[in-house]
Structure 1
Amino acid sequence: MQNPAKITVLLKGYPRLSETFIAQELLGLEKAGFELELVAMRRPTDKKRHPVHDEIKAPVHYLPEYLHEEPLRVLKALGKACRLPGFGKMLRQFFKDLPRDFSRNRFRRLGQAMVLVAEWPGKAEWLHAHFIHTPASVAFYASLLSGMGWSVSAHAKDIWTSKDWDLADKLAHVDWAVTCTRVGYEQLSALAKDRRAEDRKVVHLSYHGLDLQRFPHFEGARSRRDGSDVHDPVRILSVGRAVKKKGYDVLLHALAKLPSELNWAFTHIGGGDELAKLKALADQLHIADRITWKGAMDQRDVLTHYRESDVFTLACRITADGDRDGLPNVLVEAASQGLMAVSTTVSGISELFVNGENGLLVAPDDPVVLADALQNAIRNPDLRHQLGAAAEQKVRQDFDYQNSIRDLTVLFNRSLGQ
């Protein structure tokens, strides 16, 4: 690359503890030679940061989260926007969208797009949005207003809780989109069918993967705990936000169904709106004394827990509004340490694990079958070691994040004419 290409990356919030995969990608792009300007739609709410956030050099800018909080900034942006050639094109798209989504949110995205263009950071040459729902709405309007090319990374909730018309409109105008699971790729590809006559693909599949230098092979010995020792219970770990799609209520019911003679201790790492309800549920199920709620932790502390635990579990589900995980990064992280996982068949999880070969997978929303799988893992240390080793081999072979950085480098360079 003769001159570093500069890209504006639009994020919903930054930094966020739950989105290490995005931070890892940003750092990887910088190391690949791109210069980044980060723009976030929300200011951070997490009190901690991962080490990777401090290694990213890109400056961070914040759009007004709510337009009424910065009215002069929005009016100034409107004054600049209405003089741009793309103003009419942006408004036509907005008024096309408005009857289908008549909400304050729709007006907010329009205002944020105008502020983004009016204050365009660092003379960047390209706009890339993370998440194809609200950040991509801002990017779409900003592209129409400015004439700037744009691309998008789609993940999980943003795909499955968006309306098909909304996704199809964005896919009809975006230069390219990338997503991190096969099931997401197939969904977006079907919605981009009107562009199949073009010479090149619009939707691309690229797994996030891990920075394996941050998750080196664990040289220590895995324990042979089998649940028989009251003084040395099997250590069960889960890492994830306490939200409905993670299925923690199902997991607690499954833990409560384990035979009384089995000795286990469960540790949860993560924040989330459902924590208070889950703690109350644990009390009702009479298992609260076996559970430790750690709250949010940085990546180094989480790595220590992976290495000290015996079983990793995540009871992912599809919620009533269609929300679901893609391939939770924590499952890849746990597997990188040879820690066997018990999870569900939701979305992209089956793209990493094969039941009985490198993990145990069950149907979602079924605490009985989940309890059976957990019991199997607790009682059989040899099985845990065998499946955990196979999972680690899969991760180190197929889930190195450098593969994703290479994919993105090709796509960005093509768009930027490098």
Structure 2
Amino acid sequence: MHVAFILKGYPRISETFIAQEILALEQKGINIYIFSLRGPREKFTHQINKKIKAKVYYIPEYIYKSPLKIFLSWLKIRKLPGYKTSQREWFKDLKKDFTPNRIRRFAQAIVLSKELPSSITHLHSHFLHTPTSVTYYASKILGKPYSISAHAKDIWTTKNWEKEKKLKNALWTTTCTKQNQEHLLALSPKSNINLIYHGIDFDRFPPPHEEEPIKKDLKENSPFIILSIGRLVEKKGFDILLKALSLLPNEINWKLEHIGNGPLSKELKTLSRRLGLQKKINWNGTLTQENISKFYQVADIFVLASKITNSGDRDGIPNVLMEAQSQGIACISTKLPSIEELIINNVSGILVESGSIFKLKEAMINLIMHPDIRKKIGYAGQTRVKENFSMHVGIEKLSKLFLS
């Protein structure tokens, strides 16, 4: 089977879950071709991306940068039987969403339709917003079926009329949380919408060999390591985490190791200085998975203060929480429905009210001061992830959908 994967960008450091999926499907015998709507965001990538055999095509992101390529592609595909049908659908959408982005999506669909090898029989888009729009229009042009993987921001910031249309026309859809599945089924009850967790590849995240020390002397020169990983964007709640850290008692010797980058970098670093935390935080920037693993080995706890933004954007099940738990690290996060699918509060992790600086501070103090609780929760989280969130379970379900 030959499948085109349509992605917003490839490769992306923050989307290892897509890379692990592509590699695992290739190992199942599915031939994959990657079509990226943007160029690479980072200058380096994970080792897992280097193992992927799929050929990568880059579709022009902006019309003004590649007008000739788009025009020549249009000349090639405009006489295909499905072109006028696709154009009519695009005009309908353009009336509801008259934006440059909507125009760009159809131009990208034209190039995709022209570039697609004839051997490809199925289109698959990751993310319900832009990639699925391009896929939807190309599917109409070529008369080939498509499927969708829907995740987080793409679900909660896309308008309902557009989600419903895409879901109804898709052969099938997968999504990574029960909350997502329920929401999408409410919009399109007759659609084939499947819950498939991304899960952890335990070959890449084997359990640590050494157990955590029973007690850490907080008066030692060695600080208590708090780890947090995530893009510096609003939904990750790093402003809440910084404010909570500023309230920790002075007698606690702690250090925050942060991994990631994003548009709020300057703002959050300014906030950390204003709170007097600049000497307590290492901003490590974007790292490869291989380098991130070293931080899991030294972390005492993992904290992610996720929240729902005014636009509706939110996390699904953050992969970094699963990764941290796979290493037996006690995790603190927030009471969002998707995260509650992963963490059982006070059993396999600690969950606090989203946005509560005080409760987040108290949760951190509790784990810092009680190594026995920390160890118990870390072990319970590790066991739960191992029993319920293996990548291979999801890949089996996904490969059956493709091959059906």
Taking structure 1 as the reference length, the TM-score comes to 0.95
Report Cα offsets for 1:350-369 as digits up to 9, x if no partner.
11101100100011111111
Q: Does the alignment pair 1:106 with 2:102?
A: yes
Q: Which residue of 2 aligns with 1:213?
A: 203
Q: Which residue of 2 aligns with 1:345?
A: 335
Q: Which amino acid aligns with 1:234?
A: F
Q: Which amino acid aligns with 1:38?
A: I
Q: Which consecutive residues of structure 1, in runs of 5 or more, have no partner in the other structure?
A: 196-200
Which of 5, 25, 50 lines up with 1:29 in the alignment? 25
Structure 1 pair 227/47, CA: closer, same or farther in 2 (3 Å)?
A: farther
Which of 338, 354, 372 lines up with 2:362 in the alignment? 372
Which of 303, 318, 327 lines up with 2:308 in the alignment? 318
Q: Which residue of 2 aligns with 1:363?
A: 353
In 2, the alpha carbon distance for the partners of 1:47 and 1:348 equals 32
Report Cα offsets for 1:296-325 as digits up to 9, x if no partner.
111111111111110000000001100011
Q: Does the alignment pair 1:282 with 2:291?
A: no
Q: Which residue of 2 aligns with 1:16?
A: 12
Q: Structure 1 runs of 4+ off > 6 angstroms? A: none
State the identity as a percent.
43
Report Cα offsets for 1:179-210 as digits up to 9, x if no partner.
000111111111112x2xxxxx5100000001
In 2, the alpha carbon distance for the partners of 1:6 and 1:23 equals 17
Equivalent runs, 1:9-408 vs 2, <5 Å: 9-121=5-117, 123-193=119-189, 195=190, 202-224=192-214, 226=216, 228-408=218-398
Shift of 1:224: 4.2
Shift of 1:68: 1.2
- Give the SS at the match of 2:400: helix
In 1, the alpha carbon distance for the partners of 2:200 and 2:120 equals 28
In 2, the alpha carbon distance for the partners of 1:228 and 1:399 equals 34
Shift of 1:80: 1.9
In 1, the alpha carbon distance for the partners of 2:57 and 2:297 equals 37
In 2, the alpha carbon distance for the partners of 1:122 and 1:267 equals 48
- Give the SS at the match of 1:368: helix
Q: Which amino acid aligns with 1:298?
A: T
Shift of 1:228: 2.6
- Give the SS at the match of 2:267: helix
Report Cα offsets for 1:48-79 as digits up to 9, x if no partner.
21110000000100000101111111001111
Shift of 1:121: 3.1
In 1, the alpha carbon distance for the partners of 2:86 and 2:77 equals 10
In 2, the alpha carbon distance for the partners of 1:187 and 1:377 equals 35
1:227 touches 1:263 (CA, 8 Å); kept in 2? no
1:127 touches 1:149 (CA, 8 Å); kept in 2? yes
In 2, the alpha carbon distance for the partners of 1:111 and 1:227 equals 61
Structure 1 pair 302/385, CA: closer, same or farther in 2 (3 Å)?
A: same
1:225 touches 1:233 (CA, 8 Å); kept in 2? no
Q: Which amino acid aligns with 1:406?
A: E
Q: Which amino acid aligns with 1:177?
A: T
Shift of 1:277: 1.1
Structure 1 pair 129/384, CA: closer, same or farther in 2 (3 Å)?
A: same
Q: Which has the larger displacement, 162-171 or 90-99?
A: 90-99
Shift of 1:225: 5.0
How many residues are treated as equivalent by the alignment?
A: 404
- Give the SS at the match of 2:218: coil
Q: Which amino acid aligns with 1:343?
A: S
Shift of 1:229: 1.3
Shift of 1:273: 1.3
